Amino acid sequence: MACLHSTPVLHILSVDMPSHLTEIRTADGICPAYAAWPAGPGPFPGVLLFMDGIGYRPVLHAMADRLALAGFYALVPNLFYRRPGEPQPGGAALLLPENRPRLAELVQSLTPAIVLRDAGAFLAHLAAQPGVAQDLRLGVVGYCMGGSMAIRVAAAFPARIGAAASFHGGRLVTDAADSPHRLLAQIGAPLYFGHADQDASMTPEQVAALEEALQAAGAEHRSELYAGARHGFTMADLPVYDAAACERHWERLLPLFGTLRRA
């Protein structure tokens, strides 16, 4: 079936998947989102993908397509929907020194309370889709800032989340009382953490503290350090992209979501 999206989407796959641009009503407005699902009869396990700090863009659509090709119904919301038209300039240009203050302000605007408020709407939207299996828990994965969001959502909605993953996630360990690493005991799903070994937002000391917290919580998990990879290594439109590390991330993520079990 041909793709149904009305704006250009970067595809990294040789086979187009059914997909469309959609909108999700939240407590704060209307959130644009992209959804992709397998060709053929469903329903399919549902997966929520939290974007990185660079923003909602075609490379994330392509990643949803990859999830769809593997048999999942994937939803990618635009987390910056409260700021229409941002980030500008888009993509890798945000990493330039003169644009970093804007990037930091956008990321910091998504407080834990806002993230969880949005997440409730996203999960409800995903679960209501005819193509999503109603008798299975949902998967959640996040990149960069989305990594901590995935963990927060898994902790806040333990009855609805069946697997969660973070890749080059930042600020998973902070001094805050609600730091993601302090929420692990609330999670009832298997977890995966893929850390870049060159990542100022998740230092070796923080990685060690996260592992200690995982062990203390008795969390079912797997943590790996991607040697030579930099923060953002999964994003094909960024200069830090590492093709081998990104493919390894798929080799970990897809089997994890293959374990999604009945609620």
Per-residue pLDDT of 141-187, as tens digits, reads 999 999 999 999 999 999 999 999 999 999 999 999 999 999 999 99
Q: What is the pLDDT of residue 246?
A: 98
Are 97 and 116 spatial neighbours (Cβ–Cβ below 8 Å)? no
Q: What is the pLDDT of residue 42?
A: 87
The domain made up of 19-257 is a member of CATH 3.40.50.1820: yes
Going from N- to C-terminal start, the domains of the chain cover: 19-257
Counts of helices then strands in the chain (DSSP H, E):
6, 8
Q: Could you identify the residue written with the tokens 């990321």?
A: 107
Per-residue pLDDT of 196-245, as tens digits, reads 998 999 999 999 999 999 999 999 999 999 999 999 999 999 999 999 99
pTM, 2 dp:
0.90
Q: What Rg do the C-alpha atoms of the chain give, in angstroms?
A: 17
Pairing of strands 29-36, 46-50: unpaired
> Confidence class of residue 263 from pLDDT cuts 50, 70 and 90?
low
> Confidence class of residue 4 from pLDDT cuts 50, 70 and 90?
very low
